[in-house]
């Protein structure tokens, strides 16, 4: 349970961070009633990376071992997480479980931490991209209900998810009707396929969710095919939840491909969920039980 007054740690594990966005996010989170600790490498820059892999790993271990930090929030995506997955001491994380949240490139860490430790991780907002907005938009008192649009609803939904409130989301299009049960598992599609070659598929039946940005349809096809070629993926995937595939090259082809995918896999496939790189996003707990029933995704 995350309470006002608790400490949130902001850590840079992927691309290099913009100082103004980090400082704005820190101020906004503090305005919500939380304390903030920044990783020591938060403003480091090594080409397109937030400093060295060694410093990132050191800070990740330190944040999990720091009892004051109750939630670890990634600063941003970009690139770099895949470089870390075989250098992490997962025993440290398993011994010090706490919410760990991010999306995009951070998907690699969300899935590997879950696989190696069984700890639920959170596909959701990040510091620079989602908390670095106008403070008047996110810091009313008290915070509103999850209903509504924009940053207030995104942040409220984030805290509701972290605090284990039952959640229900509704899609808007059925490619293949049906009911599916399993843990939630997925994230950014291009990052997920970068894990191929690792032992990363869950040991339980799962509902797969996916989103992406700036990918042509043939690459979306190719990336799904990479996963479909893995026998364990086909064996354990019981349904698919589609988020946004923003700025693709051909919406007609994308629509045709998802229809083809639904017929080919013969699994419930539903789209229209705000799993996205855009501002209006939902938070999903990787590893928690969920039910997909027609247009509805329910999480206990």
Active site (catalytic) residues: 104, 211, 277
Distance from C-alpha of 273 to C-alpha of 278, rounded to nearest angstrom: 12
The whole-angstrom separation of Cα 300 and Cα 291 is 9
**Contact in structure between 215 and 280 (CB atoms under 8 Å):** no
289 vs 272: CA distance, rounded Å: 20
- From edge to edge, which strands make up the β-sheet containing 7-11? 35-38, 7-11, 69-74, 100-102, 121-123, 284-286
Of 2, 255, 264, 221, residue with least CA distance to 124: 2
CA dihedral (100, 191, 237, 280) positive or negative = positive
Residue 245 phi, psi dihedral angles, 5° rounding: -120, 85
- Cβ–Cβ under 8 Å, residues 2 and 162: yes
Going by DSSP bridges, is the β-strand pair 237-246/206-213 parallel, antiparallel, or unpaired? parallel
Phi, psi of 10 (to 5 degrees): -105, 125
């Amino acid at each position: 349970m995350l309470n006002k007054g608790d400490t949130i740690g902001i850590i840079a594990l992927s691309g290099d961070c913009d100082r103004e966005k980090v400082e704005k996010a820190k101020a906004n989170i503090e305005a919500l009633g939380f304390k903030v600790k920044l990783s020591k490498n938060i403003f480091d820059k090594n080409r397109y990376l937030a400093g060295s892999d060694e410093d990132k790993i050191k800070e990740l271990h330190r944040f999990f071992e720091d009892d004051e930090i109750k939630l670890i929030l990634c600063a941003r995506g970009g690139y770099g997480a895949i470089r870390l997955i075989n250098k992490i001491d997962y025993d440290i994380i398993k011994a010090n479980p706490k919410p760990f949240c991010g999306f995009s490139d951070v998907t690699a860490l969300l899935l590997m931490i879950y696989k190696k430790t069984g700890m639920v991780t959170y596909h959701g907002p990040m510091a620079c991209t989602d908390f670095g907005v106008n403070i008047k938009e996110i810091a009313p008192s008290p915070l509103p209900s999850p209903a509504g649009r924009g940053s207030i609803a995104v942040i409220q939904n984030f805290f509701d998810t972290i605090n284990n409130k039952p959640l229900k989301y509704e899609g808007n299009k059925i490619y293949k009707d049906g009911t599916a049960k399993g843990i939630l598992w997925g994230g950014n599609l291009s990052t997920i396929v970068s894990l191929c070659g690792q032992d990363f598929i869950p040991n339980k039946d799962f509902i797969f969710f996916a989103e992406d940005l700036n990918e042509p349809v043939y690459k979306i096809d190719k990336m799904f095919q990479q996963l479909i070629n893995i026998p364990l993926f086909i064996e354990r995937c019981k349904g698919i939840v589609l988020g946004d595939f923003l700025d693709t090259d051909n919406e007609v082809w994308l629509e045709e491909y998802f229809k083809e995918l639904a017929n080919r896999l013969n699994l419930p496939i539903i789209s229209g969920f705000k799993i996205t790189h855009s501002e209006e996003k939902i938070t999903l707990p990787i590893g928690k039980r969920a039910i997909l029933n027609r247009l509805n995704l329910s999480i206990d």
